[in-house]
Chains A and B, each alone.
Chain A
């Protein structure tokens, strides 16, 4: 008995000894927010850590939590798919910049329908999520999909249970294309959903759609591909049915005038263009303009600088659209406005 006690104590001491080898607290940067870019951020962070030893730790907790946490200062940077307006940024002392763009994709789990086969338009999509269209073989859906044999299967809506920038982008689109949606539900990170079960994070929705027959949900494109979910074709403003893919996201972003957007506030939903994907969005990082810890700020900026120059390949592989060079120039210019408490610039 005594011997076992000594063994336990020495084991504990050994563990504590292991802990003390590298005190690198200044090098672990913590960010939290959108689950939209979680795959690309964790990939970038891993590669960056391999290269420089600096640890960027990202918590996928949803845009709502990301905004709340950075405002409450319990993380080093926040991440959100919903861009904050300039007035709100100024009020909180935050600056914001986009990192990547991607598409929000409605995904389905309907027997007999494969990826990219089902066509939907904006009215039908809004009605499905409002619970007005209840079966997959509904007249409206069948009308535009004459070549498909649609089963008489109940539509099971899956949406987000947490406050989400992905939801914000999706409901922004629905509010633009459906006045009924705009009035009844509106545009927000979290809304009063008329129907459906909630999944936590993009991952929760993807997992639920995968499991539940007749399900329809909305996720960031990388999640749709990784989970091997069936995406749809959506009718864009120009009247064309487009598939979600990097080229259609790029088409939507092509005409965006970033230089005229204060605080980089840009919403890419329902953009014109023959090939444009209607539910495109950028995702943003939120940082304080006045940094109390300049070393942390420098590390964050170094990291994202590295991702702009070296991360394009990883981003494209995961089906995100990198920011165009012209925008990166503007972003770096914006970084020059970040200062420490004494007024010294952190980035030059």
Chain B
């Protein structure tokens, strides 16, 4: 009897340590990635210092590099994605929670969520072969003539490839995440608040505007940061359509690059040049840092609201 208990105790301990080991592995991997990125970036950090962040140079011949065009492209494409996706996901979430009958809301919700399942390289293919020509022909010219006074809308568009089109593809990619979170947020608002509002004759929109959104604002902000994090790190969808140019310009319809597209295109060449390798690793480090900040911000806001990610 004692031997059996002893065996169980040993197994229990072994099992426990296995779980601890696996949990520890997570911490180890995250630390390893951060350290590796940092160590490899040192040659570039030493060479360029802080000016790397705002330098618009990218001259492989003269070995002068700067992250400005990559950071700009990354942030602007993501910003465009958020501006397009947030209103859409808001009204879709509204549809799913307040307007539609559950028998309709469920399948529609499933369908929207399927957008998240499509692999990013598929988005990339669709973006460069179908969306970019469409944008070049039907969307960008009218936008450019309508807003002719805006300097950031100017500039020659080549084949629809550029920061704006990348932003549009990213918007479609983050739509399911935003919608799902907004839906959870709306569902978590106390039913009593909603019922009492409807009871005194408030319209659906007014309930949304005055109750759902203010009540759920932390959750909404958290969701926005989460989607920002996803969009910022996206590579395959963006690489095909961003135009791959390090030429820095504020015009959003023009070609540009993001940190991830630069890594995809140029990383293979850095292997034997410590400075170039360091520059690319430093870009990776910056991207990593930005996504960590986004994750933390989103977690903070979502937790405040009580939504499970």
Contacts and interface: CB of A to CB of B under 8 A. Distances in A.
Name B's interface SS.
Answer: loop
B6 interface: no
A67 B161 CA distance: 29
A296 B249 CA distance: 48
A162 B59 CA distance: 13
A247 interface: no
A106 interface: no
A193 B265 contact: no
B159 A62 contact: no
A199 B255 CA distance: 11
Contacts, number: 86
A163 interface: yes
Contact of A156 (B158, B265, B270, B271): B158
A213 to B, nearest CB: 8
Given A193-B247, A197-B158, A212-B159, A64 B59 contact: no
B245 A196 contact: yes
Interface in B255-288: 255, 265-266, 268-273
Contact of A192 (B58, B158, B270): B58
A163 B269 contact: yes
Nearest to B272: A71
Contacts of A72: 271-272
A23 interface: no
Interface string A157-192: 010011100000000000000000000001011111
A192 B265 contact: no
A68 B266 CA distance: 11
Interface in B13-59: 58-59
Contact of B61 (A161, A188, A196, A200): A188
Contacts of A189: 60
Which range contains the number of B residues in contact with the other chain? 20 to 34
B218 interface: no
A211 interface: yes
Nearest to A189: B60
A276 interface: no
Contacts of B245: 161, 193, 196-198
B156 interface: yes
A208 interface: yes
B159 A208 contact: yes
B268 A68 contact: yes
A154 B133 CA distance: 16
Nearest to B246: A192
A65 interface: yes
A51 B229 CA distance: 51
A241 to B, nearest CB: 28
A68 B159 contact: no
Interface of B: 58-61, 133, 156, 158-159, 161, 239, 243-247, 255, 265-266, 268-273
Interface of A: 32, 61-62, 64-65, 67-69, 71-72, 74, 154, 156, 158, 161-163, 186, 188-193, 195-200, 208, 211-212, 215
14 contacts: A62-B269, A65-B269, A69-B272, A158-B158, A161-B266, A188-B60, A191-B60, A197-B158, A197-B161, A197-B243, A199-B244, A211-B133, A212-B158, A212-B159
**Lowest 9 CB-CB distances: which A-B pairs, in order?**
A198-B244, A161-B244, A65-B268, A71-B272, A212-B159, A64-B269, A72-B271, A68-B271, A197-B243
Given A186-B61, A195-B247, A198-B255, 4 more contacts: A154-B156, A161-B245, A162-B268, A163-B60
